[in-house]
Amino acid sequence: MRVDRLSLRNYRNYKTLDVNFTNNINIFVGENAQGKTNILEAVYLGAVGRSHRTAEDDDLVKWDQDSASVDLFFTRHNVENKLGFRLIKGRNKEILFNDFIIKPREVIGSLNVVLFSPEDLWLIKGAPSLRRRFLDIEISQASPLYYRNLLQYNRAVTQRNHLLKKVLNRNKLPELLPSWDEQLAKLAAFIVDKRLEAVKKLGMLANLMHRRLTGSRESLSFVYQMAGGEDDIPGDLYQWYRDKLAEQREVDIARGSTSVGPHRDDIILRVNARELRSFGSQGQQRTGILALKLAELEFLKSETGEYPVLLLDDVMSELDSLRREQLLSFIRDRVQTFITATDATLFPAMRAGRYFRVQDGKITE
């Protein structure tokens, strides 16, 4: 999988841009706030359908313009494709796949990417929602069915929560809840089953990468932690969720929210059996994230048959020279990669890519 060309009109700080890429490593060098990350953001938009930096599409339109466009030309399984985004301030974006209008949920899985940025350290340090989102994006890129079920589950949780509040205020009868619990149990069982499969595979891959990065001195492990569950994952997830939702019903009514389900689960990362979030050094946490990102590449390749596109946003300066070289040696001639950096000297031995100078919304090679 590769991105061949990107065309921008009035996007962020770019009035107009048309640039072709190598299928190896593309390096964008420039000072801060010149537009480097905007390139990666546009590619990420093509994979997920939204920015990783803002929830507002209007933020993507150049400040002095009313509309913008993004066109991505990419090759998947040797077939050329085009993704287009039409952004108009105050309106929902229009998305086109090979010039046919599609729904936002249909974008996922068209162009697969893995994004690595300094903020990814929060995957370890931050809230469980960040780890759930990371896992959901990876699985959704490989399985459109998972993404559809996830959307349906999230809508069902929202509707059940509304009903819980109405029951508490005596505007609705509690007898209506069992039907929602039945629907939630089915969807929750499907989602958690897929997550467990992904965590098992990602865990094995990440541990292999982590041992390579640490000279086999450390082992990395993943543990999926179910909200309201015990250490062991129940054999019958559907029945477990049915029972648990019924057991927690009165508590949920009092709180006005659903306390059990994949929307409250977590993934625990451990190095040598010690939780990385609480006991890992900053160096161990960075190595853990790097191993995780390399594992993502292999996971998506195993699921889709192709490596995804790798986006490295200003992370080279966060890694020491040894880990930079290990990362570059892994991706070189293997994965199409887009790298942003403020310092070209971070790539002294790089000979397998193209360099682009980025200055004030303009790119020169």
Q: Which residues are annotated as a binding site for ATP?
A: 30-37
b/e 129-148 (16+ beta carbons within 10 angstroms → b): ebbbebbbbbbbbbbeebbe
The three-state secondary structure class of 202 is: helix
Q: How many residues does the chain have?
A: 365
| Nearest CA-CA partner of 15 in 1, 35, 31 | 35
Count CB-CB contacts under 10 A for residue 247: 12
Q: Distance from CA of residue 21 to its chain's centroid?
A: 23
Cα–Cα distance, 108 to 286 (Å, whole number): 28
Annotated binding site: 30-37
- In 3-state terms, what secondary structure has residue 61? strand
Helix (H, G, I), strand (E, B) or coil at 360: coil
- Backbone Cα Rg of the chain: 22
Read off the amino acid at residue 355. Y
Query: Cβ distance 175 to 203 under 8 Å?
Result: no
